[in-house]
Amino acid sequence: MNKINYADVVKFYRKGEVNKLISICEKSISSFPNDINNYWYLSSAYLLNNQIDMAQSIWMSVLWESDDIDKTTQELVDFIHKLARELVISNYYQEAKLFYEQLITLDEDNLLNYKCLLDLNLQINSQEEAEIIFKHLINSNYSDHAIYLEYAQFLAKQYRHEELFLILKQGVEKFPFEQNLYLAMVQFLKNNGRAKEAIAFAEQGLKLNPDNIIFQLENAKILPIIYESEEEIEFYRKRFTEHLDNIFQNLCLKNEMEKKNALTAISLSTNFYLQYQGKNDLKIQKKYGDLVEKITKANYPTTSKYTVNNDNKRRIKIGIISCHFRNHNGANWALGWIKSLDKNKFIINCYYLEVTEDYITKEFIKYSDNFYFCSSDLNTTIETINKDQLNVVIYTDIGMKPITNILASIRLVSIQCVTFGHPITSGLSTIDYYISRELMETENSKNYYTEKLILLPNNGFYLEDINLPKKITNREAFGFDHNSILYLSTQSLFKYLPQFDYIYPEIATQIPLAKFIFIEFPISKYVNHIFRKRLKKAFVKYHLNYHDYCIILPRLNEEKFMSLHMVGDIFLDTFTWSADNTCRLAVSCDLPIVTCPGEFMRSRHSYGILKMIDMEETITYSEKEYIEMAIKLGNNLQWRQNIIDKMKKNKHKLFYDLDCIQGLEKFLTNVVVNKI
């Protein structure tokens, strides 16, 4: 008779033949009564048959007769561990869970058994049971500091930030020499805008290993999400630059470990919030780009052996690369390009560096010639792009996620472009062209890009009409009264710089019924606290109470966000980083838009949109003009209505713009076929 093994148990269970397995095990015991494994297999068969009492009675009888009960118990524990793992491999998670629970019954003092059950509960998304075990392990002095990191990740997914902070703090106190705990705390505080606290923990953590480049770079990228003063902007800008210079000067990539650690360092986060300081970021972006390129070149030295098809009779092969092929501002606009480009001239492949899908993702899949999900492994993504033999790649939003910086820093295709999903230069020498928008750039704009600047006609978008909610929402649904004049300023809070806070009370002094409507930052109470603190300070200077004028709404879903703009009176654009998607929504809702374009493209979105629809009346060119325009729209109802009427008449000009598509086709043809 052949001996049974773990795979046999799973096989019998899969076939629904557990009773047959019980019979075989009983015969094996009759033939080989001294082989203890036969008893373990028999008990496992009873467990799988949900006869828990029978399984336990077999264990107890064997253990009772053992000459060395501790040794036999350990053998049983090892057996159950191995069989449970076999069940997990075979995707029998609930069955494996039953075995792990029996392990704890047999050896309740062994915390590793709890850890196995925890891992399984996390795998099957059994959150309540997982949390019970997390708390048990931490309260039982589990010796591995990683449990605090795992629990922190668990809490982060549920946005339980205060509990997360306390767990990491507890972990740091218990394991004061574990640098990874300090790093996790720094990342948490940084991502919640608590920059000063993050710096304090970073300084403590770096003392443990000052040469850790992962920690060094995360420390450099500590930036507030929202600033309390202009002086704070200058402090963090200088701090970032100095740390970046120091890292670059001392970067060592001689061995594989150094290369791997450096790659991890640039994989954790980007310098995303730096670009919201309202400054010329060309030099800083170039420095950061040089660092990324140096690290990726050391890790991927042979990836630039690209090949392309130069046969002019064939269609031009374009690769569009993004982390945001979904309902996200980073790339949802690119759907218009993909739908409208001439399929007789172009093959369009999309490479999605994420996994989140929605109805927009389905549209990208539908209209692309090929659509790849490339989130799992960078090497696989590189191979996929290389084998497709593209003529040109276009990154929609370099800098929003680390993977885009890393991939874009590698020369995969002979012609590499970036465009305005994230409206800032990439700073990378591997990116040849920045595809921008004619109405949003100035004569000096080429000086703000490391890439060669390409201007598409108008606003560069091919947009379809925005489908507004059919159900009309009234003001009462948002808690607004009918007498108030609603000034909507509904941008992400990190777009609001403190030097412009005074504008709202300036308007309020002339418009007593003004209500300024903002939207909370969704993931950090601290950021919302700082913004409220700033508003209070600004209004106090005018002897006003900001509570009488400012309403900060919670994050709204898409339908409610649209409905909000349908009940507003006036849209106030942000300075230095102008509204783009929200401005187009405001146009669709016939809202008068007050804007003040700045020096850089990212401050000229609303300006370009208003220029395209011939609505220049509310474009201003100074803070003083901006305030006066907002007051005029609030006081002069007839003039405001004239603007609304003209908006209704002209807004169609924003949509279905084929000029930009023709401009894009011309550019792609010139650089690929005509080599211009």
Instruction: Map out the domains of the chain as residue ranges.
Output: 6-143, 211-299, 316-464+659-672, 475-654
pLDDT at 304: 54
226 three-state secondary structure: coil
Q: Angle at the Cα of 521 (from 518 to 523), degrees rounded to 5?
A: 160
Residue 71 burial (10 A CB sphere; 0-12, 13-18, 19+):
exposed
Complete DSSP assignment for 310-328? --TTSPEEEEEEES--SSS
pLDDT at 291: 98
Q: Do the domains at 316-464+659-672 and 475-654 have one common CATH topology?
A: yes
CATH number of 6-143: 1.25.40
Tokens of 111: 């915390």
572 three-state secondary structure: strand
Q: Look at domain 475-654 and name its CATH class.
A: alpha beta
Quick one: how many helices (H) and strands (E) in the chain?
Answer: 28, 12
pLDDT at 1: 47
DSSP label at 545? -
* Packing angle of the helix pair 581-588, 558-567 (nearest 10 deg): 50
pLDDT at 233: 97
Complete DSSP assignment for 466-520? P---SSPPPGGGGT--SSSEEEE--S-GGG--GGGTTHHHHHHHH-TTEEEEEE-
DSSP E strand boundaries for 246-345: 316-322
- The structure's pTM equals 0.89
Give bridge partners of residue 373 from the DSSP assignment: 352
Tokens of 316: 């031009």
Average pLDDT per block of 10 residues along the chain, 676 residues long:
79 91 90 88 90 90 87 88 90 91 85 90 92 93 91 93 95 95 96 96 95 96 97 97 97 96 96 96 97 96 62 82 93 94 95 94 96 89 93 96 96 96 96 98 97 97 91 87 96 97 98 98 94 98 98 95 96 97 96 98 98 97 98 97 97 96 96 80
Contacts of 29 (CB under 8 A, 6+ apart): 35, 38, 39, 42
Place of tokens 């990874």: 180
Residue 419 belongs to what H/E stretch?
Answer: strand 415-419
Tokens of 616: 């220049």
CATH number of 316-464+659-672: 3.40.50.11380
